[in-house]
Amino acid sequence: MSAWDRREFLGGLLAGAVGLPSAMGATPLGRTERPDVAVPAVPAVPTDARVRDERYWEIVRAQFPIVPGLVLMNAANLCPSPFVVQEAVFELTRDVDRDASSQNRQKLGELRESARAKVAAHLGADADEIALVRNTSEANNTVVAGMDLSSGDEVVLWDQNHPTNQLSWEVRARRHGFTVKKVSTPAAPTSAEALMAPFLDALTPRTRVLSFSHVSNSSGVALPARELCAAARSRGIFVLLDGAQSCGALKMDLHAMGCDAYTASAHKWPTGPKEVGILYVRRERAAELWAADVGVGWEGAEQRGAQKFESLGQRDDGAVAAIGTAIDFHAAIGAEAIEARVKELAAAVRARVSERIPGTVFHTPADPALSAGVVVCAPPGLEPRPTLQRLYQEHRIALASTGGIRISAHLYNTLEEVDRVAEALAAVRA
């Protein structure tokens, strides 16, 4: 490995993540034997070199416990966590199980606040604007349930929203009498203006909320979120931006984006722990939203900004703290490098599949300004669901189906794996 010494590559990140095991004051027990790459870290090398050199990304892949020979390209649904994130969860869990006293667990609150600060910095927000919830679904529903809406009000949605940002509004509308309007965008968008126009046409003086997915999980289309947020804010409209397919894949700056709320899950592109989600609420709008869950810890919560949405009862505190480790892992690589790599892989998927299966229709725009890491295609002669089963059983490739074949590659994938996917699709079609 001539580009980097393996030991240098692996050193340093864990010590700067959640401070384990020194923060716990105990030696971790029961470590599992793993290869030399088990304690992941990433060297500080120039961003352009990271994207150019496949050796770098092969080392990044080695930081994940993926079964050898298995190609995972379903980041839009669930990502594996790198070893360092697993270790953070495991060691904190062991520590609590060794001593479940409130005195011992007190440090978990400090680790949670450290994680909150890291999430905020990663997203271009302030710590008091971040609630650490359980997933995007809960975060979306917190906003849906928290808005004061009644008969005469309108909520405008993208018809490609995830159900938790679609059905949840419809169910609440049946109860409270407000109107839900769904916007359709062009099937083959060629510009940001073409994507914006249907939304702008749908906004009226009665519109109270504009709620949309930053990147569609069903088509891979990325909406011009910043421009839509600006248009809505100029009209006094609250904007909920579902970031399940952008957080961890794209470099985010929520203050610059201008949304009022943003939601995401750690288990997708952030490659973080399961059952940890992110809810951002812009400081100026937090007081407008009612908390859906109220319980222990509520005292004074209304003065803590977005944290008033964290009254959720007993949590997996190790997982909550470990989202900070996941953010450290991403930060060591760099948000710009990850976005560039994600888009490089998406472009390679399109190119390789097109070469091997001429006539493939892509629902995802080729323009990287109108897409991110989700690529949805319809190769001629292939039915999505049976194709997925054969790909997994015969070729050890895991993809997904959302009206087409969805291929969502991430930082643990390589260009060689993209070639494997294209070859396997062609073989299944033969």
pLDDT in tens, 408-419: 999 999 999 999
User: Where are the domains positioned within the chain?
Assistant: 112-329
387-399 pLDDT, tens per residue? 999 999 999 999 9
E strands, 359-426, where?
361-362, 374-378, 397-398, 400-401, 405-408
pLDDT the model gives residue 295:
86
Assigned token pair, 240: 């909920």
The number of angstroms, rounded, from the C-alpha of 287 to the middle of its chain's C-alpha atoms is 26
Q: 134 near 276, Cβ under 8 Å?
A: yes
- 405-408, strands of its sheet edge to edge: 361-362, 374-378, 405-408, 400-401
In the structure, what pLDDT confidence band is assigned to residue 10 with cuts at 50, 70 and 90?
very low
Average pLDDT rounded to a whole number, residues 14-18 = 39
- 110-146: burial string, b at 16+ Cβ within 10 Å, e else: ebbebbbebbbebbbbbbbbbbbbbbbbbbbbbbbeb
Paired residues of 155 in beta bridges: 180, 209
The number of angstroms, rounded, from the C-alpha of 262 to the middle of its chain's C-alpha atoms is 11
Average pLDDT over the chain, rounded to an integer? 89
pLDDT the model gives residue 46:
53
Which of the 8 DSSP states describes residue 82? P
In the structure, what pLDDT confidence band is assigned to residue 33 with cuts at 50, 70 and 90?
very low
Residues whose CB falls within 8 Å of the CB of residue 188, separated by 6 or more in sequence, listed in order: 365
Residue 284 clears pLDDT 80, i.e. is over it = yes
Q: Considering the chain, what percentage of its residues have pLDDT values greater than 90?
A: 83
pLDDT the model gives residue 293:
87
In the structure, what pLDDT confidence band is assigned to residue 4 with cuts at 50, 70 and 90?
very low
pLDDT the model gives residue 311:
85
Residue 1 clears pLDDT 80, i.e. is over it = no
In the structure, what pLDDT confidence band is assigned to residue 52 with cuts at 50, 70 and 90?
low
In the structure, what pLDDT confidence band is assigned to residue 32 with cuts at 50, 70 and 90?
very low
Whole-angstrom CA distances from 379 to 357, 406, 425 are 7, 11, 8
pLDDT the model gives residue 47:
55
Instruction: Name the phi and psi angles at 240, rounded to 5.
Output: -105, 120
User: Rounded to the nearest 10 degrees, what angle do helices 167-176 and 136-146 cross at?
Assistant: 20
Average pLDDT rounded to a whole number, residues 105-112 = 93
pLDDT the model gives residue 51:
62
Q: Is 44 or 164 the better-scoring residue by pLDDT?
A: 164
Fold of 112-329: Aspartate Aminotransferase; domain 2 (3.40.640)
Assigned token pair, 13: 């990140």
Instruction: Name the phi and psi angles at 119, rounded to 5.
Output: -60, -45
Per-residue DSSP letters for 100-127? --HHHHHHHHHHHHHHHHHHHHHHT--G
pLDDT the model gives residue 6:
35
Among 101-105, 372-376, 421-425, the minimum mean pLDDT is found in 101-105
- Number of Cβ within 10 Å of residue 240's Cβ equals 25
239-280 pLDDT, tens per residue? 999 999 999 999 999 999 999 999 999 999 999 999 999 999
Residue 27 clears pLDDT 50, i.e. is over it = no
Q: Which residue has the tokens 């352009």?
A: 48
Among 51-55, 124-128, 190-194, 379-383, the minimum mean pLDDT is found in 51-55
Report which secondary-structure segment, H or E, holds 16: helix 13-16
pTM: 0.90
Q: Is 287 or 30 the better-scoring residue by pLDDT?
A: 287
pLDDT the model gives residue 53:
84
Whole-angstrom CA distances from 226 to 8, 122, 260 are 39, 17, 12
Residues whose CB falls within 8 Å of the CB of residue 101, separated by 6 or more in sequence, listed in order: none
Alpha-carbon span 5 to 42, nearest angstrom: 11
Assigned token pair, 377: 């295609």
Alpha-carbon span 175 to 365, nearest angstrom: 37
- Highest mean pLDDT: which range of 15-19, 107-111, 152-156: 152-156
Average pLDDT rounded to a whole number, residues 285-303 = 87
- 207-213, strands of its sheet edge to edge: 130-133, 277-281, 261-265, 238-242, 207-213, 154-158, 179-183
Pairing relation of β-strands 261-265 and 277-281?
antiparallel
297-307 pLDDT, tens per residue? 788 878 888 99
166-215 pLDDT, tens per residue? 999 999 999 999 999 999 999 989 999 999 999 999 999 999 999 999 99
pLDDT the model gives residue 300:
80
Q: 295 near 301, Cβ under 8 Å?
A: no
Q: Considering the chain, what percentage of its residues have pLDDT values greater than 70?
A: 88
Among 20-24, 49-53, 128-132, 366-370, the minimum mean pLDDT is found in 20-24
In the structure, what pLDDT confidence band is assigned to residue 314 with cuts at 50, 70 and 90?
confident
Paired residues of 205 in beta bridges: none
In the structure, what pLDDT confidence band is assigned to residue 49 with cuts at 50, 70 and 90?
low
